[in-house]
Amino acid sequence: MKVLKNYIYNASYQLLALILPLITTPYVSRVLGPNGVGINAYTNSIAQYFILLANLGIALYGNREIAYVREDKNKLTLVFWEIQCLKVVTTLISVFIFIILAKIYSQYSTFLYLQSINVIAVVFDISWLYMGIEDFKKTVIRNTLIKIVSIILIFLFVKDHSDVALYIFILAISTFFGNITLWPFLKDTLNRNFKFHGLRPFRHLKPTIALFVPQIATQIYLVLNKTMLGTMRGPKFSGYYNYSDSLIKMVLALATALGTVMLPHIANAFSNKQYERVNKLLYKSFDYVTAIATPMAFGLAGISHTLVPIFYGKGYYQVGTAMTIEAVVIILISWSGTIGTQFLLPINRVKAYTTSVMLGAITNIVLNIPLIYFYGLYGAMVATVISELIVTSYQINYVKTIVNLASLFKYTFGYLSAGLLMFIPIFYISITFKPTFVVLLTELVIGALIYTLFIVFFRKDIVVYAIEILNKRRRK
């Protein structure tokens, strides 16, 4: 029941995170224009490398380590402060290097200085602690309030294309203060009488680096595309990529919301040597994620040419085609997130996880240069899809000796078949008719009906289970 409760919290936030940009993005895309949006995307992509260095794999490592010791408050307090002290050191180093870069890169210095607030904010981010103890309520409420405040500030102060710097500042300072808001809760979570002498923060350095390596690789093919497009084709194309990728990731967040909840849960089960339960949790999670990710991927690919002109306005046509190409990564990342983040990391198969994302990163680097050179934005999208395919394929091949693949993919073919059936009619409508709200609504209804009918007729067990849960809640 705790997993369900935490999932509801996390999924509710992810839903809110999906809805709120639907309010601001159309406004920002029109006010700042493709070039202004591109400058933010390009400079933020550079800042992300330093945010990654500051984090040093601590988000995943800290989450897991806290989950291991959460029943013992003294050990919990010790582990938290050791990891946090390590994070202070890594953040200071990262900020120092970033400021030097910002000074050298004179063309975008102002924007990079503002982006540095995002790097500084890393040191105050302790959400990994609350995820480790499975207290998702605090992080969800915090993130929700901060996002709402940032939206209000954007509408109040960002008025034209000259406000790019102000827009970056609002986003960065919101993240900074959002991270600080979790600190007052520490007094109820940690041991107040803890003695700080004897801390050994650097004993965590090696294992965090072990997780840092795959995160570097992941970041390369998540951010490098924007950086390379901005360098090779201009900031405007970074903006195009960012807008396509942002919509994909917003939708993906709903499908992968379970991952954040399941990591500490599976880690705790593994630490208690409940190995059979770990596998069963994986099967259930994989089935759920596939059921959700499939209609999202095929649906978004189908409606992209209708959605983009309505959502972003004129000047963003290329984003629609880019989204159609990239949409398949919703399924691929959902699978690799379930197998990698929810399974391999909690059972301490870090090497396999690292290898998978390293292969994806290498593939992305090798393909990016020729594909971006010859095909620009669309080439970057193809490189992204192939990279994610490599990651997922390696992970599936690795776990075949640990889990039963037949159980893992039991209903997958059915989901994919239903997704393809819904894609064909809505994509035809999208490329045939002029983009309007009525056309978009028609596509959504048709797609939802086709996929829902599949669930009702071929996955009756899910429907029955959902009805049972609703009936139990009503009785309460």
CA dist 21 to 14, 98, 170, 296, 380, Å?
Answer: 11, 28, 14, 17, 24
90 HSE (CA, 13 A, CB side): 28
CA dist 357 to 10, 261, 285, Å?
Answer: 25, 22, 21
Position 466 pLDDT exceeds 60 = no
Contact predicate 256/15, CB 8 Å: no
Arithmetic mean of pLDDT over the chain: 82
State the sign of the Cα–Cα–Cα–Cα dihedral 362, 365, 367, 370.
negative
CA dist 468 to 9, 389, 465, 472, 473, Å?
Answer: 20, 37, 5, 6, 9
The first and second tokens of residue 421, run together, are 């059936």
Alpha-carbon distance 63 to 80, whole Å?
10
pTM across the whole model: 0.69
286 HSE (CA, 13 A, CB side): 26
Which pLDDT band, with edges at 50, 70 and 90, does 395 fall under?
Answer: very high
120-134, 372-386, 392-406: least confidently modelled range: 120-134
Fill in the amino acid letter for 166.
Answer: L
The pLDDT of residue 221 is: 63
What is the average per-residue pLDDT within 330-353?
82
Phi then psi for residue 51, to 5 deg, are -65, -40
What is the average per-residue pLDDT within 78-94?
90
Contact predicate 14/254, CB 8 Å: yes
Alpha-carbon distance 330 to 18, whole Å?
14
- Quote the strand ranges of 165-291, DSSP E: none
What is the average per-residue pLDDT within 459-471?
58
